[in-house]
Amino acid sequence: MKGDGREGASTERPAQTEALGAALASRLQPGDVVLVSGELGAGKTTFVRGAARALGVTEPVTSPTFTIGQRYEGRVPVSHLDLYRLEGVEDEDPALLEDYLRADSIAFVEWPQAAAPALDRIAARVEIRHAGGDRRDVEISYG
Ligand code: ADP
Ligand code: MG
């Protein structure tokens, strides 16, 4: 991950949120972890889908439902975690996250709070907020 700082943008369509994900993806390297926060329906998975596409993932990118995460094959391996149902990592098997947070992979984590103590190599934090209708405010901080 190159560069530090903070960027804000407003989107009016899902495709624009995907494009922001794609732009972020171009700055990522294997081992990087991206935290994606926001309410249900904010567009976290939409953002991750755009990033995953840009990383060469061709299979459908949807929110993991029955597992905490999914692995995709792209030009680099991509992990997509959704920790909505996870209360905290303290009580969990440490191996739970290990399959996803790997040095060879780029990982995107929705609802990251529960795993905060276990997440290092955080390259970027993405915060998405509803701003009325289809408008979303997307803030990305790096480093
Ligand atoms: P989350 O993962 O945060 O729960 P999703 O990405 O699964 O959210 O869903 C976002 C929903 O909002 C989708 O139905 C998407 O089509 C819709 N949507 C409408 N406008 C936007 C926008 N500007 N950016 C992202 N999603 C949008
Ligand atoms: Mg989601």
Which of 10, 17, 46 is the pocket-test mutation for ligand 1 (most atoms within 8 Å of CB)? 46
Q: Let me know: does 38 contact 11? Beta carbons within 8 Å.
A: no
The pLDDT tens digits for 86-126 are: 877 777 777 889 999 999 999 999 999 888 888 889 999 99
Question: Which residue's alpha carbon is nearest to atom 20 within ligand 1?
Answer: 134
The pLDDT assigned to 2 comes to 54
Low-confidence ranges of the chain (pLDDT < 50): none
Tell me how far the alpha carbon of residue 1 lies from the centroid of ligand 2, in angstroms: 24
The pLDDT assigned to 85 comes to 84
22's enclosing H/E stretch is: helix 14-25
Instruction: Name the pTM for this structure.
Output: 0.95
DSSP state of 12: S
Which CATH number do you get for residue 134? 3.40.50.300
Nearest atom, ligand 1, residue 48 CA: 6
- Residue 80 pairs in a beta bridge with 70, 108
3-state secondary structure of 131: coil
Domain, as residue range, for 124? 5-142
Sort strands 77-82 and 106-110 into parallel, antiparallel or unpaired: parallel
The pLDDT assigned to 15 comes to 98
Separation CA 138–CA 95 (nearest Å): 32
Domains: count for the chain: 1
The pLDDT assigned to 95 comes to 82
The pLDDT assigned to 114 comes to 85
The two three-digit tokens of residue 74, written as one number: 């792209």
> CA 125, 126, 129, 135: dihedral to nearest 10 degrees?
160
| Ligand 1 interacting residues, C-beta cut-off 6 A | 11-14, 16-17, 38, 40-46, 63, 110, 134, 136
